[in-house]
Structure 1
């Protein structure tokens, strides 16, 4: 590879490509690299420091059983966790079907017609719902949002933080007494409430509608098998999380949130939306619908920065619903509710005061002055309760609760469980509740049972009626269904995914091993600190290592996506200026070469975006930068630089850019999305950055999981440390207080965000060590430059740096070829599927181009296979230019070629079946056939269908 580039050594290549002005003078000060066996032993020791108890804290996080067939074949399967976001739908039909199941599940349970393909977590989803109400209602800038005081405190804190950034008013009020006076754009309710109450919200919802306000209900999905859903109550929006559908606690995440809306709001819906379209032969096919809503496309016009969803966890939750079906989910809800009723009865008999008498799974009790003692006694007995305040304790039951647990909890309060009641939970006719465990009986006969809430709130409508939720009832069926879906997709377990900007590199199995260990996965995010010593030590070490790697002084691991990290970093800058009395500083300069989500994040942090031009060779236009700084000298807040730029080049004058912005009183945000081109060579905190976010799901090996989970830590210089994201439950395990308005504000519901996947990055850094991390960066540069050099004669490389070199990615310019042949970048992307490749990044950051990032984890043979495919495609383009094939009849325009098309008796194309299916010889040995041909995206947007189509849609 070096010979092809004309360099004698890797060091010589790196010294030429990376500007000397940003290089670190010393290497990374990290512990020596450890072997796989050593890191697994280390993780075992850390896991052993955590104390695993039965978690009854609740507050939005519940114990659950992940069916082993789903645990092994989704969460722990590289076919699912190494997949990319399904932007290329022809090779993503399996995960798209799974996500469509998720949308259907959510829509059915919430009683609303449109649900998206997951959100990041419940609290940030609630904040997105508030923003959705404000822009859809258009009630006026002075109209405030009113949120019920009976929301979880972490949700209130996150909503307040988002509202504060955007400068609109949020009022917290007891909505059980009615709405406050004044203009209101929307209200937010929760069912069941923070105190466990199941309330009839119909009166306040009707009052809100009469006054022109929209309504969001945060709803527990399991409870909706028993309780009238938000859509039937008149809500416009429902949000919540799906964690208790088979996803471990994970010390707070990652967990897939959901957001569902009424008709008319689908085009304003944040997040990704799976829709049904058709392929060239008219067969139903899935795709992401309405993609122009996404913030990396809309940039500063975006109204959301939810770029990373939680696809892997949404798929897990959807498969949990497929496996259990409506009758199974209802049975779990019945048993959970029966346990709560049994405890409530025992406590009342013992003279313990219940705060609420209408509930689903949570019992809140008053124990004046004894809350701490009761919680301590419960911990000694092996389970955690929620310490609400000195006089109040909550107990939340779930799928994992047993009769023995209920008996033990009652004993802590001095109560006893009636033996008849305690043995009833597994029976079909439940003596405690009078309910039935058969969803079919309840839905068809109207038998709803007797519950501990108003009979008017008992659900009678059907849900999960699609055949997919009734046809998988054995492990054999589930195993084969998961395998069938996985076989339809292309992920890193099959092939290189050469996506620029997204760093799709392989992660070792040893890194993944620990995340499902119960000592890590079974810990509640609000468990007492003395039970989470292992987690906190792992996080402390990882924070120290990331600070060393970036050159900053402080870091927060709270943001659970790169977009959230951007938002948190810019929010820190904004709050820093406000704290220093500079409210006028609200301009964020963003070069045209910046990462796609940057502008959206800036807007949501309360900043105004001004774009800085780039020169024709891809570098920041210094003259335009100076002009923009001069124009906004008094109101400049920051510049947001992606480094190396999204154009794939190192700006040699980045220090000068930083100095100019600092001189004008601004801060420098260096987007760390491309940190894999810097680790071990340069530190953004040393060459001018004040803040950077990192993408642990890129540089630090957390797999993308089909579009999430992600982690976007934000690292800052010393003066910004006070403005890092705050604790969403500042009262600790009690969760009684909301973070203060000064300092940092939380961006998600838990202090450490998606903690459950942090052992992956911890293991990665520990096993690589300083030398390994540096070598990875150097190898990424080598691979990208090798691809650029080999393909330059076939596809021009758009931007380059010193001596024609690129950074870790390169942009192949197809625009002249398109002009000559009509072949588009999309044609090339679809044709690559026939070669068994996921396409490079399409049309971003420059329309008509492909951005390629081979990463350091691909070996030379796989890189050569990609180069061979691209050269073969260039030859097919030349055939079109030469008139051998018309564009519309060419293999490129008709790509990809599924097996059904290749073997069809109706083959009438001017090229051979062999050229269509086996364009190079090696494909005869190992061939991937996509399940569908090219999908008609425009048809899917015009005819929006975003729930599971009936089976007859696939006949013929």
Structure 2
């Protein structure tokens, strides 16, 4: 047939191997077809009987036409709603060179510090900016959103409380409703009482362990909390403040009036609202809490040559080590957005930030004066950016006129709230005044705005005016022209290995292609500039996208409905368990509190179970890495009266499709429990099987893994949950935007649909792949993994395999035997950097191993290059085993090798410079140089420096 009607398929661009390469790999495996491999790898009893019922795949051009039509249904009015979300101006140099740049958005979490120095520096800048602005000693490298950051603070202060009988968290009534909603959710499993009461000394009763202040308050008012904080500390009550980061350029930082913890959202630092996210929350605290702080901390240390180097400190993969005893289940942060916020601080510097804050405050004061000239009563005496205008019975008329002028205000009990932001102009003030004047039957010309600018008085009380400096480090005072800023961004980007350079073969993390077309709509104004609490008739584009994505993901998972509120995989785990908890309570079985978790599970599983108030009981695995069904049945029956759930990953964390998974689900159901499936390995299921078909009741999906949202150096993530029909009534609701029924659990994150703007990416992926394309991607991922397994298994033992000797989409290479000659798995990881690769997952789920996942996006050439590197490294290990090379002085122990080391005048190592830098020929054509040598981890933990140090401070440390 003529190819005149041929239409190129997006899947042919997404999947790496060409048709001829697939046949070559199948031949290497001794197979005739891809379906033959799938039959060997995936148990027949779990295979779907029909193809996915999804719309026909769109071409890239057709998709862009469709998504533009959807975007056009969103109405982007000028937003003055506030409530923690503000319009921003994203500096173009940051938007183009960070947010839209795969050199920044495709990196993995910086667990391999030597090839992540760029984003580590950007995150250290974020920590420094937060610590400076909040007036506290230490900050982490971001959390998910403001509400969950407040919940993390509550839990940290509860765990560290001096009075162990105190269980009340005293919360100001003047708090954002979404934050209170999330606090209520997180408090339930621990028996913490959220007491909403005025922050007065007489309310500091003995049963209170900590208190929460919103600063400025939700209604925009500003108060001095110095006396209240001192009174709280006298009674051993700790103080947490939720602060507006932009306001702290003008207001006394909470750290200076005694706050123990300050949390908030860095969205105002150049990150679009995006209908709710993603945005990087911040968490700052006192040095005393440095080992309790949730999330990641970037710390300063040195490399093997004594040079300045950075690493993740203290909490690195804490949940995988401490599991149910972990202080948090956080795995994904919001690294990319924290990086954007940090560059915003660098670009504007202290004076620029102050100028922006002052302009916001001055325009707010001007509007205040103008509205009072019109005869309105403005309630807030002290404020930064928010006014409250008493309009009484005129609310309806005012709202109608505001909408006619495409303005959104915040309406509450006869009051109109107006929150200004950095995009507000003098002309905007004129428009607002015109609207209010019309309601009074006046002309806006009755107000001399230009004249009023000469009469503005301070709206910030003298005791609340900031006098201390901030952003004093040279980094924040050096790059204010676009040329300098561009070069600074690029200098950091050059220090990081990303998917731009090579495959990132991380087992259980699915680092696949993030196609350019998938990413384009993300920065369109009609997706980026929408406030999450905008009137529903302005958000129909988002609603169409979310509803269609719900239908598609429900079809893919075999579930009845999805909730898009969880904005990370770990938060999805927590949300799913809380839904199960609510289901049991609805059946008068709230006593069910035992969660069975296999020994091989992701560390976030037991940490999430603990957060949900569950007792973790570990189930053994057999010698083949599968769940020990006999032990599972014994423990399920033993705890039948109290069995809440089983948390299971499928395929298993050991990279195998367990044959007994349906029986496993049946055992749990027979004993009154529910099955929670961890969706981390969904990339091996799509189109072949599904959680619902297997028998699971709830599953979270890592959209930042299987469905192409990029990792962004450690986030953003999205972890929506799908549930079976009987759990649908209990899906998360939201205090501001109703999205579930009366039985729904309270919110798990700040925005109703989590990090909504990045849903556009997964929507694009599914729309352009279609059911057939998604299924082919799964098959290709399994092929790529089995090809690597076949190439490497004669060099490295592969720890587990299925009944037919095949793995799923990943495998575990056993490196433990090399310890006998002094070679650790970490040495292999560092040496891979010299070959231009990020290491696979190190020592998880089995210590001393590498877990490899290639994904479907990698070509045969790239797979071979990776295999050649590991085989070459095996030869280097062999030289140590035979005694040809010393166990301590060898190329692995000194890896990685920097350009500075290799080009130094002196070279006294027992191997050549060529061996160090160019062990395989392809490296002479395309070499990625690690920017530092091996990082000194122990020094970094002994001397924790987590903000940008001066040269003197660094040398002293």
TM surpasses 0.5:
yes
> Helix, strand or coil for the counterpart of 1:777?
helix
Does the 8 A contact of 1:723 with 1:745 survive in 2?
no
Does the 8 A contact of 2:797 with 2:814 survive in 1?
yes
Question: What is the CA–CA distance in structure 1 between the aligned matches of 2:932 and 2:565, rounded to whole Å?
Answer: 40
- Give, in angstroms, the shift of residue 451 of structure 1: 2.2
Does the 8 A contact of 2:567 with 2:755 survive in 1?
yes
Question: What is the CA–CA distance in structure 2 between the aligned matches of 1:740 and 1:40, rounded to whole Å?
Answer: 34
Q: After superposition, where does 1:457-476 map in structure 2 within 5 Å?
A: 457-476=464-483
Q: What residue in structure 1 maps to residue 304 of structure 2?
A: 280
Over 3 Å counting, the alpha-carbon distance change for 1:479 and 1:754 in structure 2 is same
Question: What is the CA–CA distance in structure 2 between the aligned matches of 1:565 and 1:337, rounded to whole Å?
Answer: 38
Question: What is the CA–CA distance in structure 2 between the aligned matches of 1:384 and 1:497, rounded to whole Å?
Answer: 44
> Helix, strand or coil for the counterpart of 2:68?
helix
Q: What residue in structure 1 maps to residue 657 of structure 2?
A: 650
> Helix, strand or coil for the counterpart of 1:370?
helix
Q: What residue in structure 2 maps to residue 814 of structure 1?
A: 815
Q: What residue in structure 2 maps to residue 715 of structure 1?
A: 722
Question: What is the CA–CA distance in structure 2 between the aligned matches of 1:644 and 1:731, rounded to whole Å?
Answer: 35
- Give, in angstroms, the shift of residue 179 of structure 1: 2.2
Question: What is the CA–CA distance in structure 1 between the aligned matches of 2:728 and 2:652, rounded to whole Å?
Answer: 26
Question: What is the CA–CA distance in structure 1 between the aligned matches of 2:560 and 2:317, rounded to whole Å?
Answer: 36
- Give, in angstroms, the shift of residue 822 of structure 1: 1.4
Question: What is the CA–CA distance in structure 2 between the aligned matches of 1:388 and 1:643, rounded to whole Å?
Answer: 47
> Helix, strand or coil for the counterpart of 1:497?
coil
Question: What is the CA–CA distance in structure 2 between the aligned matches of 1:309 and 1:179, rounded to whole Å?
Answer: 35
> Helix, strand or coil for the counterpart of 1:267?
coil
Render the CA deviation track for 1:866-892: whole Å, top value 9, x for unaligned.
Answer: 000000000000000111111211000
Question: What is the CA–CA distance in structure 1 between the aligned matches of 2:407 and 2:165, rounded to whole Å?
Answer: 47
Question: What is the CA–CA distance in structure 2 between the aligned matches of 1:18 and 1:270, rounded to whole Å?
Answer: 38
- Give, in angstroms, the shift of residue 742 of structure 1: 4.5
Q: After superposition, where does 1:421-432 map in structure 2 within 5 Å?
A: 422=450, 431=454
Q: After superposition, where does 1:2-13 map in structure 2 within 5 Å?
A: 2-13=26-37
Does the 8 A contact of 1:267 with 1:293 survive in 2?
no
Over 3 Å counting, the alpha-carbon distance change for 1:167 and 1:75 in structure 2 is same
Question: What is the CA–CA distance in structure 1 between the aligned matches of 2:555 and 2:450, rounded to whole Å?
Answer: 55
1:410 is aligned to 2:410: no
So what's the TM-score if we normalise by structure 1? 0.95
Question: What is the CA–CA distance in structure 2 between the aligned matches of 1:559 and 1:518, rounded to whole Å?
Answer: 24
Does the 8 A contact of 1:421 with 1:431 survive in 2?
no
Structure 2 counterpart of 1:296, from 299, 307, 320: 320
Question: What is the CA–CA distance in structure 2 between the aligned matches of 1:71 and 1:63, rounded to whole Å?
Answer: 15
> Helix, strand or coil for the counterpart of 2:416?
strand
Over 3 Å counting, the alpha-carbon distance change for 1:662 and 1:490 in structure 2 is same
Does the 8 A contact of 2:737 with 2:752 survive in 1?
no
> Helix, strand or coil for the counterpart of 1:3?
helix
Render the CA deviation track for 1:359-389: whole Å, top value 9, x for unaligned.
Answer: 1000012211222332221121121111223
Question: What is the CA–CA distance in structure 2 between the aligned matches of 1:417 and 1:699, rounded to whole Å?
Answer: 57
Q: What residue in structure 1 maps to residue 14 of structure 2?
A: none
Question: What is the CA–CA distance in structure 2 between the aligned matches of 1:79 and 1:406, rounded to whole Å?
Answer: 40
1:856 is aligned to 2:856: yes
1:523 is aligned to 2:523: no
Q: What residue in structure 1 maps to residue 675 of structure 2?
A: 668
- Give, in angstroms, the shift of residue 289 of structure 1: 0.3
Q: What residue in structure 1 maps to residue 409 of structure 2?
A: 385
Does the 8 A contact of 1:303 with 1:604 survive in 2?
no
So what's the TM-score if we normalise by structure 2? 0.95
Structure 2 counterpart of 1:50, from 40, 61, 74: 74
1:485 is aligned to 2:492: yes
Over 3 Å counting, the alpha-carbon distance change for 1:907 and 1:422 in structure 2 is farther
1:909 is aligned to 2:913: no
Question: What is the CA–CA distance in structure 1 between the aligned matches of 2:921 and 2:819, rounded to whole Å?
Answer: 27
Task: Report which stretch shifted further, 176-185 or 645-654.
Answer: 176-185
Does the 8 A contact of 1:61 with 1:243 survive in 2?
yes
Render the CA deviation track for 1:764-784: whole Å, top value 9, x for unaligned.
Answer: 000000110000000000001
Q: After superposition, where does 1:264-279 map in structure 2 within 5 Å?
A: 264-279=288-303
Render the CA deviation track for 1:388-438: whole Å, top value 9, x for unaligned.
Answer: 23x1110000000001111211222227589775489xxxxx8455xxxxx
Question: What is the CA–CA distance in structure 2 between the aligned matches of 1:952 and 1:82, rounded to whole Å?
Answer: 35
Does the 8 A contact of 1:249 with 1:523 survive in 2?
yes
Does the 8 A contact of 1:785 with 1:807 survive in 2?
yes
Unaligned runs of 5+ residues in structure 2 are 1-24
> Helix, strand or coil for the counterpart of 1:836?
coil
Over 3 Å counting, the alpha-carbon distance change for 1:420 and 1:466 in structure 2 is farther
Does the 8 A contact of 2:346 with 2:475 survive in 1?
yes
Structure 2 counterpart of 1:600, from 595, 598, 607: 607
- Give, in angstroms, the shift of residue 743 of structure 1: 2.7
Q: What residue in structure 1 maps to residue 788 of structure 2?
A: 787
Does the 8 A contact of 1:292 with 1:298 survive in 2?
no
Q: After superposition, where does 1:495-894 map in structure 2 within 5 Å?
A: 495-730=502-737, 742-819=743-820, 821-894=821-894
- Give, in angstroms, the shift of residue 293 of structure 1: 6.6
Render the CA deviation track for 1:885-921: whole Å, top value 9, x for unaligned.
Answer: 1121100000000001001122210100110000111
The CA RMSD over aligned residues, in Å, is: 1.6
Task: Report which stretch shifted further, 72-81 or 181-190.
Answer: 181-190
Q: What residue in structure 2 maps to residue 438 of structure 1?
A: none
Over 3 Å counting, the alpha-carbon distance change for 1:431 and 1:878 in structure 2 is farther
Does the 8 A contact of 2:505 with 2:854 survive in 1?
yes
> Helix, strand or coil for the counterpart of 1:535?
helix
- Give, in angstroms, the shift of residue 633 of structure 1: 1.1
Structure 1 counterpart of 2:417, from 375, 379, 394: 394
Does the 8 A contact of 1:215 with 1:236 survive in 2?
yes
> Helix, strand or coil for the counterpart of 1:285?
strand
Q: After superposition, where does 1:916-927 map in structure 2 within 5 Å?
A: 916-927=916-927
- Give, in angstroms, the shift of residue 922 of structure 1: 1.1
Render the CA deviation track for 1:91-150: whole Å, top value 9, x for unaligned.
Answer: 000000000000000000000010000000000000001001101124224431111011
- Give, in angstroms, the shift of residue 740 of structure 1: 9.5
Does the 8 A contact of 1:563 with 1:601 survive in 2?
yes
Question: What is the CA–CA distance in structure 1 between the aligned matches of 2:465 and 2:909, rounded to whole Å?
Answer: 59
Over 3 Å counting, the alpha-carbon distance change for 1:946 and 1:423 in structure 2 is farther
Question: What is the CA–CA distance in structure 1 between the aligned matches of 2:156 and 2:722, rounded to whole Å?
Answer: 29
Does the 8 A contact of 1:833 with 1:896 survive in 2?
yes
> Helix, strand or coil for the counterpart of 1:805?
coil
Q: What residue in structure 1 maps to residue 900 of structure 2?
A: 900
> Helix, strand or coil for the counterpart of 2:640?
coil
- Give, in angstroms, the shift of residue 216 of structure 1: 0.3
* Count of residues in correspondence between the two structures: 927
Question: What is the CA–CA distance in structure 1 between the aligned matches of 2:230 and 2:952, rounded to whole Å?
Answer: 40
Question: What is the CA–CA distance in structure 2 between the aligned matches of 1:402 and 1:517, rounded to whole Å?
Answer: 22
> Helix, strand or coil for the counterpart of 2:648?
strand
Does the 8 A contact of 1:179 with 1:208 survive in 2?
no
Q: What residue in structure 2 maps to residue 119 of structure 1?
A: 143
- Give, in angstroms, the shift of residue 504 of structure 1: 0.5
